[in-house]
Amino acid sequence: MIEDGWLCHYKHVIRTGAALNELVIKGSDYSEESQEKVFGNKKMYDGIFEDLPIYKKKKTVIYVASIKQCEDMYQKLLGRGYKVCRYHSELQNGSYELSRFTELNECDVCVSVSSLTLGWDYPPIDLVIFWRATTSLPLYLQIGGRGSRPWLDKEYFTILDYGGNYERFGAWDLDRDWAELWQNPDKKRKISTYQGVAGSKLCPICQAIVPTAARSCYNCGYLYPEDEMRLIEGQLLEVENTIAALKEKRVSSLTPKELANYAKFHDKRQYAMRWARKREQEEPGFLRQFAEEMGYSSGWIHRQLNSLPDTKIVCFDLTIK
């Protein structure tokens, strides 16, 4: 949907400082009480008020974990002179408050709990702030998705993440094996298993996620040292040649080795796995060759072969850019 222009590209900025080890799980997610403690201290508020002038766009939504946090954030933003509204289930005039953000255009920041996640569509949003942590992948995707709608000249939206959600789930637009997640629901709430995205690095100054080959940070302008870039360029020479050889090819036409290269260098592992399973149905042995190129274990190959469905796997066939 992103590649076809139905959704926007995005930038993810990780903010550190929250004592996430103090979060407590209650039921299926982190408790409101522990989130109020972790995110409600002066250090965290000082941090967001330093960040907002840097990252604030045309329309910003801040998602918090409780009504108490929502009211606290609302009052503190008012005290700093921001044009802000808040929206939660206990407001008597909630519809009017939200209209100040969407229709009346009286404010450019909205603070919300969970009411404005699933099903709320307001395309002008270009900054989504996670002032909370979650163990729920669906909630992470729903919150992030509020900024993903194309609007006029909006080329991308930004996620400002204070809750370690990127480390927990990976990028918002990461390919995911939904069939596997559906069959193994426990994986949906597994904590802190994501190990990072290939081909990316963190800016040491602002913690934005930038491509490995970038000489500077798109967000703060930090320039990477020449020695580091020479090392990276040497490592990437072969990678660039490999990527160039894949351009304009259809994914359906790739050999097992080419599909593995595509998976590694374009961060498309889940999508490539699905294609490998599909090709195995048509060309027995393809999945094993792909797995060997990826460095997957024999146990992984065995599980994939045993779980192939009887029905034909359907995949969207992309042209690699």
**pLDDT single digits (tens) 150-171:** 999 898 999 999 998 988 888 8
Question: What are all long-range contacts of 200-206, with beta carbons under 8 Å and residues at least 24 apart?
Answer: 200/267, 202/14, 206/13, 206/54
Average pLDDT (97-106) is: 95
Task: Report pLDDT for 267.
Answer: 67
Task: Report pLDDT for 227.
Answer: 64
Q: Structural domain of residue 148, as residue ranges? A: 9-193
pLDDT bin (cut points 50, 70, 90) of residue 125 is very high
Q: CA-to-CA distance for 162 and 17, rounded, in angstroms?
A: 8
Q: Which residues contact 155 (CB under 8 A, 6 or more apart)?
A: 8, 9
Among 134, 168, 193, the domain boundary falls at: 193
* 16 shares its domain with 93: yes
pLDDT bin (cut points 50, 70, 90) of residue 197 is very low
CATH number at residue 16: 3.40.50.300
* 131 shares its domain with 179: yes
Amino acid at 170: G
Q: Tokens 């519809």 map to which residue? A: 95
Does residue 234 register a pLDDT over 70? no
Task: Report pLDDT for 218.
Answer: 62
Task: Report pLDDT for 90.
Answer: 92
Rama region for 172: left / alpha / beta (φ>0; ψ in -120 to 50; rest): alpha
CB count in 10 Å sphere of residue 69: 22
Does residue 232 register a pLDDT over 70? no
Q: Which residues contact 253 (CB under 8 A, 6 or more apart)?
A: none
Does residue 192 register a pLDDT over 60? no
Domains: count for the chain = 2
- Render pLDDT for 37-82 as a digit per residue (tens, 0 to 9): 999 999 999 999 999 998 878 999 999 999 999 999 999 999 999 9
Q: Which residues contact 293 (CB under 8 A, 6 or more apart)?
A: 256, 257, 259, 260, 261
